[in-house]
Structure 1
Amino acid sequence: MYINKIKRLIDLILSFLAMILLSWLFLITIATIKLTSKGPAFFFQKRIGKDKKEFNIIKFRTMKIDTPKNTPTHLLESPEKYITSVGKLLRKTSLDELPQLINIIKGDMSIVGPRPALWNQYDLIAERDKYGANNVRPGLTGWAQVNGRDEIPIEIKAKLDGDYIKRMGFIFDIKCMFKTVSCVIKREGVKEGLQEGIRYEEGSGDWCQ
């Protein structure tokens, strides 16, 4: 009952309210991106959704338009030279993720759930299959994100996603939301560029676009 109906209703209500209350921030962010760098304010990126169906995730653009195409941020040798001045702030505060409220309203995503994998993250997708984590709507935030984000390897990330599936419910979703706010404020678990000894899923979330 919660997963099929109540969770979706909560997603719609909270996303619509957030879009209304944060409309001023959307407009300021769009204007700032357009005024400080060439290119569109948004970019679209292919991700894996519920039941492994592909969809286009929406983000505020944080990287320059001459960034190498189809290269994950965490595989760039010097990602900082491609990130715009405004993009650095957006990524540190996770404000670049705000347009995903549109994805939630469309039904592509949920507020809480496993973060949507990149279309070619076959290893992460396969690991999530073990836990049924590909069978629910991906989230704006998730249990793995509030327990390490970029600092944990794919195997652990998938297991945490599986733990979320087992514990999914209203109270646990609320817990994830509060932990997300804490992580964003503390800026925990964010890494940019190539790191030794560990594999990262998304860097700070962006693929170059």
Structure 2
Amino acid sequence: MNKQTGPLSEVVQSDQAKDIIAPSLERRRLRAYAILLLLDALLLNLAFAAAGLLYEGLWWHPRNMLAVQTILPIYFTIALYNQSYGGKALVDWVFAAKQALIALLISAALLNFVAFYTKSNAQFSRVSVTLGLILAAAALVVLRRIIPVLIAKFWGGRTRNNLIIADGGPEFSLPLSVKVSAAEYELDPSSHDPFMLDRLGRMLQNQDKVVVSCPRERRQAWAFVLKSAGVQGEIVSEPAHELGAIGVQHYEEQDRTTLVISTGPLSLRSRISKRLFDITLAGGALIALSPILLFTALRIKLDDGGPVLFVQRRLGRGNQFFNMFKFRSMKVEQNDANGDQSTGREDDRITTIGKFIRRTSIDELPQLINVLRGDMSIVGPRPHALGSRANNKYFWEVDAQYWRRHCLKPGLTGLAQVRGHRGATEVEKDLTDRLQSDLEYISGWSLKRDLEIVLQTVLVLKHDNAY
């Protein structure tokens, strides 16, 4: 692998490094949960239909089907909360069967409770319903026993991506995991080189768990990097307060203990809700704002005949690079690809139409495409160009906590923006004010807050610092 020569020197990633990029198993798990949920619904219906046939001689007896349709929503509610559709349920059939039976038993008890108080017991045949529950329980257990067999056959037994980074610490391994050498891939957690962090970010992409084994003196640096990457990270170590560990994980077969020092800022449910919010809002905004987008594109093209869009590499989630879209507001020959020079109020690089679209934030609207592509979110820390500086220092040189803001996807707008922290970063406080707001947003994320920030953004689209 080529050596790096400076903080912004580009690294050519080898084919070997590319092979480490793991496929996403999260979508695979979600599909498995959905299929399991549908199969449960089918099996419960078939079980009660068969019970009607066996006891009353009528397949799909209306009374039985009424009972199962009453049970199903209760069963799914309980099953979703007791991890019947969780990662452990895909590989541990005993656990999965136990949780499914508990959900079924509670559902039956609640059905009987509701039927008693609504005086509708007479509508159900006790024998037939009991037989349906027994058949359903048997079917659920059989299905749970089959699931791990199918996973072992078609997925090689893998439902999670586990990465182990060996950096000179105690020997450590996990079944069905990938192990890499930090030295081989030139991974240095103490480096602030964005290209090294991009390479590490791609390696950590789609990993469900990352375990680092390193010497004591490098634990702090690895803890910081893993937290900044927004992954579930662990370090092989005895407990150490300075790492900010949030849990301890024991591996009896390895006779080792790891400290859990990061889990990522959002749970799976939160990530799904945030992504649905992004897709809905970005898709609707692109349709609603299409006349403005088309008019702006035409106006830029007629202004000097140059390209409509300005594409710039920015730092995104996990410190990975992505190409961010903006309407071009500067003269073609003076575009600043790296963002080395902050834009000033009387910047002669800005075109006539550029001044207007920057002042009204219209230049940012093409980032709705980045949101739909999954590079960005509607709300989050704003992505910065690589060459951005404050007081002639790179942002990470002003405050090393800067990297932590990249544990979430960057946003089209954010808490810092609605608080007025926009425009050029002429002094260090311009950056630290934004950083403080970004870290506050990350630690207190909620969908309600995202909606509040979107509504507040409408009020600050035209701002004194937007130039």
Normalising TM by the smaller chain, what interval? 0.7 to 0.9
Equivalent residue number for residue 313 of structure 2: 46
The aligned amino acid for 1:74 is S
Aligned pair in 2 of structure 1 residues 88, 68: CA closer, same or farther (>3 Å)? closer
Which stretch shows the higher mean deviation, 90-99 or 24-33?
24-33
Q: Distance in 1 between matches of 2:448 and 2:271?
A: 16
8 Å CA contact 2:382–2:412 kept in 1: the answer is: yes
Q: 2:358 aligns with which of 85, 88, 91?
A: 91
Find out whether 1:171 has 2:448 as its counterpart: yes
Q: 1:10 aligns with which of 260, 277, 282?
A: 277
Equivalent residue number for residue 118 of structure 1: 385
Equivalent residue number for residue 142 of structure 1: 414
* Identity among equivalent pairs (%): 37
Deviations 1:149-180 (A, max 9, x none): 23651122111100001121111111111221
8 Å CA contact 2:310–2:325 kept in 1: the answer is: yes
Q: Distance in 2 between matches of 1:184 and 1:53?
A: 28
Structure 1 moving runs of 4+ over 6 Å: none
Q: 1:153 aligns with which of 430, 433, 456?
A: 430
Q: Distance in 2 between matches of 1:75 and 1:15?
A: 27
Q: Distance in 2 between matches of 1:119 and 1:127?
A: 16
Tell me by how many angstroms 1:68 deviates: 5.9
The aligned amino acid for 1:158 is L
Q: 2:369 aligns with which of 102, 121, 132?
A: 102
The aligned amino acid for 1:134 is H
TM-score by length of 1: 0.81
Q: Whose RCO is larger (CA < 8 A, sep 6+)? A: 1
Find out whether 1:184 has 2:453 as its counterpart: no
8 Å CA contact 1:38–1:65 kept in 2: the answer is: no
TM-score by length of 2: 0.38
The aligned amino acid for 1:144 is A
5+ residue gaps in structure 2?
1-267, 389-393, 424-428
Tell me by how many angstroms 1:108 deviates: 0.2
Q: Distance in 2 between matches of 1:136 and 1:51?
A: 7
Aligned pair in 2 of structure 1 residues 68, 136: CA closer, same or farther (>3 Å)? closer
Tell me by how many angstroms 1:110 deviates: 0.3
